[in-house]
Amino acid sequence: MSDMEHDVRQTLERLIAARGVSFAGVSQLLGKNPAYIQQFIKRGTPKRLDERDRWLLAQFFGVSEQQLGAPDDAAPMAHGRAMRGGSRTGIPRSLPARMRLIPRLAVGASAGAGALADDEAPVAEIAFDEAWLRRLGAGSDAVTMIQVEGDSMAPTLNDGDDILVAMHGGTATHRRDGIHVLRMDDALIVKRLAFRPDGRLSVTSDNALYPSYPDVAPESVSIVGRVIWAGRRV
C-alpha cells in the first residue's frame, strides 16, 4: 500500500469518527455491503475508491475529492454522472458538514401482504440535517429511505408514503416500541412492534381490516430498522 493510499484511509476513518457514523452506515450510503468501508480502511480492499464512491463521500463529508484520493488535476464529477454514469452539465456544490446524505432505495416495504426486495441499490441521495435526524432518534445508525406499499398501516402510513428507516444494528433501533420494517420470507413489511417484558413481540397492523399478532417469537422476525419519519405527496 502506497503512502497516499494509506493517507486516504486514515483521512476517511477520521471523517467517519468526527461525523459519529458507523462504517456500516457509510457503506449503506454507497449502496455496498455493510463491511465494504471497514474492509477498505482496515484491509486495503479495494485498493482505491472508484470515482462515484469518492464523489459521494466527498459530498457527504464536505471535503474535496483530492482528500479521498482523486488526482490533483481531476475535474469535479457532475452530479448526474456520479449517480447514473452519464454526463450532465453542472458542478455539484459541497455538502455542508451539518447535512447527511440519505440513500433512497429502489424497494418498497409492504403495508399489506409483503413485497420482495429485489433491488436494494440506491436510486438517489437526499440530504437531511444531521441534528434533525438525531432528534428523530436516528443516532449514529445508518438511515435509508424507502416507500410504503399497501394500506395495512393506514391511516398512519398510506400507500406511496416515503419513510426514513434507522437501520437495525446500532443503538437507535434496539428494543424500542414503534413502527418497524421487518424482513420475513425475503419480503419487506412494515408493522407496529411492541416488545413485551417476557421477550416476545406484538406485531400489529394499524388498519383494523388486517390481522395483528399479539404473541410472536422474536427469532421468527428479522428487524430491518425502525421508521423514524414519514412523508407524502399532497
Q: Is 227 in contact with 163 (CB distance < 8 Å)? A: yes
Question: Mean of the pLDDT values across residues 63-79?
Answer: 70
pLDDT for residue 90 is more than 70: no
The predicted-structure confidence for 124-171, as pLDDT tens digits, reads as follows 778 888 889 889 988 777 788 888 989 999 999 999 999 998 877 544
Greater confidence (150 vs 88) lies with 150
Any idea what the Cα angle at residue 21 is, between residues 16 and 25, rounded to 5°? 105
pLDDT for residue 86 is more than 60: no
Give rounded-to-5 percent helix, strand, coil for the chain: 25, 30, 45
Non-local (6+) Cβ contacts of 135 within 8 A are none
Greater confidence (233 vs 148) lies with 148
Question: Mean of the pLDDT values across residues 59-71?
Answer: 83
The domains of the chain, with CATH numbers, are 3-84 (1.10.260.40), 99-231 (2.10.109.10)
- Predicted model pTM: 0.60
Q: What is the pLDDT of residue 188?
A: 81
Q: Highest mean pLDDT: which of 12-16, 77-81, 142-146, 201-205? A: 201-205
179 bridge partner residues: 192
Beta-strand pair 187-195/178-184: antiparallel
The predicted-structure confidence for 92-119, as pLDDT tens digits, reads as follows 445 566 778 787 876 666 665 555 444 4
Question: Mean of the pLDDT values across residues 209-221?
Answer: 90
What cell does 117 get?
426486495
Phi and psi at 77, nearest 5°, equal -80, 135
